[in-house]
Structure 1
């Protein structure tokens, strides 16, 4: 999507919500009880070009909030009360298709049919969520599980919407034996391209995505979501499908230019690399998140080169953590407290990639489902009971979302660091940020490219709470709080 389209879309959203104030504390999501009643049948897929796309637009560069395992009614309420007012552009929601029964979170990633009926809510609730978020200026990115169905180790069973299934037999789609790849063993050698893309990922039934018939069925599912107003897709397990198969599926969509970001976990020496997939859309840069973990609690000065050796900024999706990496320990998580929060602020300030914030739930057991999960349902999220992480409720995060939009397109300037826990940098003449990962307050006089004048610290979450004067020579002095930030935008300016 072009920069002009992005600018127009953001201007429209800002007009609709009057440009958010940075502080969003005190906004409570009331929610409605999600149900798992009988699913509506899969809608007839739209012909290419015929879908009436009614949801808010999503584009590269937008701020996405991943609401992991949030029910549709919870997402709808949060879009209205908090996410829209905070200026966040889109929410990523967990897979909406029918899946196997079970309390574990990963049951959402084992499809049984393409009915929009999951433990997170019904088709009607999903549509109401998309509409509510759209009215708040927030797009919806759906996590799309299209590489596989449920695992062969499940045998036969019944999905959360009542659809029966068996190994190689999924009448709810329908998929039969010929719709799966011939390899019937699990991936063992990630150095073998054919094995990675044609064998089973931890027993999951691997779809024959090179088949036009399978591509049509997958595209029918995605087109149904587009008709419901979805504005983008996160492509789960993209590495396990050839890039050309994904291109063929995307070409079948009613909006073949729809935003999507692909999960491709690159590793040195492996034959499949993220760069193969950039022709289809954005690709998640896992090394970015790994470097954040190494830097925070270590040496922030190393972050100056965090974009080096990675995908170009206009191709990369970046994050501090996601639902997989917070469980396998390779990235920072909510359990890291201040470091996790500060890394999120850095991501919103630094000019690289499309940032994705993450809001999940607390856990000790990595397999545990969301609080209150049953075999067929999940309780509505509650940001007040301590069981949900709710990063979007942090006033500093809301302030830095505003900063991200205000400095869009501005180059990195005026880098400073102390060689350890303190860094600062400008975004041309549009803004300036200083971060302190140390245990004590740090005072410094910073050189900036900002015009002389009065500036608000939007990282404080309240413009009136903290202001600074930039002198004629571009300098200002600030005491940056321990494990905190100062982020300057012109006082009274819209983000």
Structure 2
């Protein structure tokens, strides 16, 4: 065991866990994109050709461990591992390692969605895996690890979500629940994390963290090695941890149990921002967004408008199928100084279980792009929408500045500054917005980065004229393609 990890274990050092809140950004970048179900070679190219040039900080990738082959190849098969071989429909270990290296080389970090809670669920008979392994999930036999019955909690269902025992020791939707208190299981999980760290990843999204005791996760995280300095990480840097904990404020197993260990997914952010931009809550109330709404402290909250689960659930959360409201919510997400931001990049779906785009042999197909750079063959690629990638740049430009000069019309028109670096305005009313507002920017002509971009010194969209006192006339008509306008210091003619 590594020296720093041993110190963490023996002294329960808070410094080690606090370090796990650091996403290890490169430069001023500060937005993660989830390239859901993308192949490793495609991610590597995207890092080099699009993500790095447009200022993205990192990529959350789909689970890397060998999973069952399920009929129809639903997306959730990736969440049913049968071994820890790095062999999935996204690629093999060599391709994964190459992707991590290529992305790190251009300053884009890789975060792996890891499955520490469980193995595959109640599969009838022998299950076959994407790496050629076999298992008998119903018998809790996973010889490629190997795991046997003694490595799991006893089989039981979760009926009462306010019963801690059921939530943390019974089987989530039938998935075989590992016993993280067993030394052998802990060793196997730490070995998996260490192997990925050696390959150069920057951290982990921990799936179903709520279904594991925080003390057990603390032991596992503390046992991990430091990040690999050969991939450009500082000496003694700890992996970034963000944990899936669904907590709407009335859960027996609370998000607060996990915040000392790393960041936590703030699902209420997703729900409330959806309500606001769907028109079910006035935008004026967003002035106190963040902790004022009962959310986690900013540095502990992993925030998103939607993720791969809740975009399919049909609730208040927005997704790509409501593009105008989705882009407005995403712009607010990236403009308001709260949380560790993650952008969703989806594939199109009509059914909840639908597979990612695949060919007749059930192989995932690579995204294809049109002349404007948008995806055209079943992939949605929200991260390539101009209104979103330009707001990622906005977030980079205003990093470290405070919100100031909030304005609203008492309803669904709002605007605010980010220091003297950026200004953003929103119109979610059914009537036009026309206001003279303080932008906090120096005098000049600025490109609205929502309707266009700054290209060769000229604006391809709206031009906003800021006067000597920092004021500008801001116009957003009710029937415009986008209901938001944004300008910043690095998009000036």
Relative to structure 1, the CA distance from residue 194 to residue 83 in structure 2 (aligned partners, 3 Å threshold; closer, same or farther) is same
Would you say 1:322 and 2:293 are equivalent positions?
A: no
Deviations 1:70-104 (A, max 9, x none): 11122112112211111000011100110000211
Q: Partner residue of 1:72?
A: 40
Q: Secondary structure at the match of 1:278?
A: coil
TM-score of the superposed pair, with normalisation by structure 2: 0.85
- Work out whether residues 435 and 486 of structure 1, in 8 Å CA contact, stay in contact via their aligned partners in 2: yes
Relative to structure 1, the CA distance from residue 313 to residue 373 in structure 2 (aligned partners, 3 Å threshold; closer, same or farther) is farther
Distance 1:240 1:436 in 2: 41
- Work out whether residues 408 and 415 of structure 2, in 8 Å CA contact, stay in contact via their aligned partners in 1: yes
TM-score of the superposed pair, with normalisation by structure 1: 0.85
Residue correspondence of structure 1 range 160-239 to structure 2 within 5 A: 160-166=130-136, 167-182=139-154, 184-239=155-210
**Bigger relative CO (Cα 8 Å, ≥ 6 apart):** 1
Q: Secondary structure at the match of 1:369?
A: coil
Deviations 1:13-65 (A, max 9, x none): xxxxxxxxxxxxxxxxxxxxxxxxxxxxxxxxx85679xxxxx9448982000
Would you say 1:132 and 2:113 are equivalent positions?
A: no
Unaligned runs of 5+ in 1: 1-45, 51-55
Distance 1:127 1:440 in 2: 52
- Work out whether residues 288 and 306 of structure 1, in 8 Å CA contact, stay in contact via their aligned partners in 2: no
Aligned positions, number:
443
Q: Partner residue of 1:387?
A: 378
Would you say 1:112 and 2:82 are equivalent positions?
A: yes
Distance 1:328 1:155 in 2: 30
Aligned Cα root-mean-square deviation (Å): 2.3
Q: Partner residue of 2:59?
A: 91
Would you say 1:293 and 2:258 are equivalent positions?
A: no
Residue correspondence of structure 1 range 58-457 to structure 2 within 5 A: 58=25, 62-102=30-70, 103-166=73-136, 167-182=139-154, 184-255=155-226, 257-298=238-279, 299-307=282-290, 308=292, 309-330=294-315, 331-372=317-358, 377-383=363-369, 384-438=375-429, 441-457=432-448
Q: Secondary structure at the match of 1:434?
A: strand
- Work out whether residues 433 and 485 of structure 1, in 8 Å CA contact, stay in contact via their aligned partners in 2: yes
- Work out whether residues 66 and 91 of structure 1, in 8 Å CA contact, stay in contact via their aligned partners in 2: yes
- Work out whether residues 449 and 491 of structure 2, in 8 Å CA contact, stay in contact via their aligned partners in 1: no
Deviations 1:158-210 (A, max 9, x none): 2111111112111111111111113x111110110111001000000000012
Q: Partner residue of 1:20?
A: none
Distance 2:303 2:489 in 1: 27
Q: Secondary structure at the match of 1:410?
A: coil
- Work out whether residues 40 and 99 of structure 2, in 8 Å CA contact, stay in contact via their aligned partners in 1: yes
Distance 2:429 2:384 in 1: 24
- Work out whether residues 61 and 353 of structure 1, in 8 Å CA contact, stay in contact via their aligned partners in 2: no
Distance 1:268 1:140 in 2: 31
Q: Partner residue of 1:468?
A: 464
Shift of residue 127 of structure 1? Answer: 1.3
| Most deviating of 326-335 and 378-387 | 378-387
Unaligned runs of 5+ in 2: 6-22, 227-236, 370-374
Distance 1:121 1:371 in 2: 15
- Work out whether residues 248 and 268 of structure 2, in 8 Å CA contact, stay in contact via their aligned partners in 1: no
Q: Secondary structure at the match of 1:202?
A: helix
Relative to structure 1, the CA distance from residue 75 to residue 212 in structure 2 (aligned partners, 3 Å threshold; closer, same or farther) is same
Q: Secondary structure at the match of 2:173?
A: coil
Shift of residue 444 of structure 1? Answer: 1.3
- Work out whether residues 425 and 434 of structure 1, in 8 Å CA contact, stay in contact via their aligned partners in 2: yes
Q: Secondary structure at the match of 1:488?
A: strand
| Most deviating of 284-293 and 163-172 | 163-172
Distance 2:29 2:164 in 1: 31
